[in-house]
Amino acid sequence: METPFTQRWGLFVGLGAISFGLGIVAWVDALAVSLASTILLGVLLFVAGTIQLVHAFVVRDWSGRLMSILGGALYILAGTMMMEEPATGSLVITIFISACLVVSGIGRIIMAFQQRGLQGWWLIGLGGLISLLVGVCLYVTLPWSGLWLIGTFVAVELIAAGIGWIQFGLALRQAAYIPPEN
């Protein structure tokens, strides 16, 4: 059954093609995307810190004012540092991601062994082992991994989103198709 929604299938395919193309561009120059993303994150932290500071000074009688001023100042400091030194900022983000992967990997390995009686428990353990190994590999390859990781994540996300939108658009096209009657 054709609806106005299914008639616009081409827009979804177009969105997917653009996302996919941008993902390929990001993959080709993951370093530039990593640095640009780090600078953008720095700008966002700076703006958020400034707004938080302004808020803290406007709400003078609030009991959490001092902590809000401190938090806002730290946001501004972190944002400024990330804008001035995006390579270092990217490195710090990569260390954080590496630590998260190591901790979550160890956690899933422990959980898998605790659930050895369940069918498929080893898949959870395998996933945990992969997370642990990726986290360790990211850490061991620092500082180089800090320069490509964020850009690669952005590229993979854009490519995956592009494929998803293309598939969705083509599914809408198929749903809109009405075979001729004989």
pLDDT tens by residue, 3-17:
667 788 899 999 999
- Residue carrying the six token digits 């009686």: 117
Structure confidence at residue 151 (pLDDT): 92
Q: Is the peptide bond before 143 cis (omega within 30 degrees of 0)?
A: yes
Question: Do the Cβ atoms of 136 and 102 come closer than 8 Å?
Answer: yes
Q: Where do runs of H (alpha helix) occur along 29-85? A: 30-58, 65-84
Helix (H, G, I), strand (E, B) or coil at 8: coil
Structure confidence at residue 33 (pLDDT): 94
Residue 152 within any structural domain of the chain = yes
Report the C-alpha gap between 52 and 72 in whole angstroms.
5
**Over residues 141-155, mean pLDDT:** 91
Q: How does residue 182 score in pLDDT terms, banded at 50, 70 and 90?
A: low
Structure confidence at residue 63 (pLDDT): 86
Q: Give me 150's structure tokens.
A: 């964020």
Residue 3 within any structural domain of the chain = no
Residue 45 within any structural domain of the chain = yes
Structural domain of residue 169, as residue ranges?
8-176
The alpha carbons of the chain give a radius of gyration, in whole angstroms, of: 23
Residue 182 within any structural domain of the chain = no
Give the number of domains in the chain. 1
Structure confidence at residue 7 (pLDDT): 80
Residue 50 within any structural domain of the chain = yes
Residue 29 within any structural domain of the chain = yes
Residue 67 within any structural domain of the chain = yes
**Over residues 120-145, mean pLDDT:** 92
pLDDT at 29 over 70: yes
Listing DSSP states for 124-177 in one string gives HHHHHHHHHHHHHHHHHTTTHHHHHHHHHHHHHHHHHHHHHHHHHHHHHHHHH-
Question: Do the Cβ atoms of 101 and 134 come closer than 8 Å?
Answer: yes
Residue 127 within any structural domain of the chain = yes
Report the C-alpha gap between 14 and 25 in whole angstroms.
17
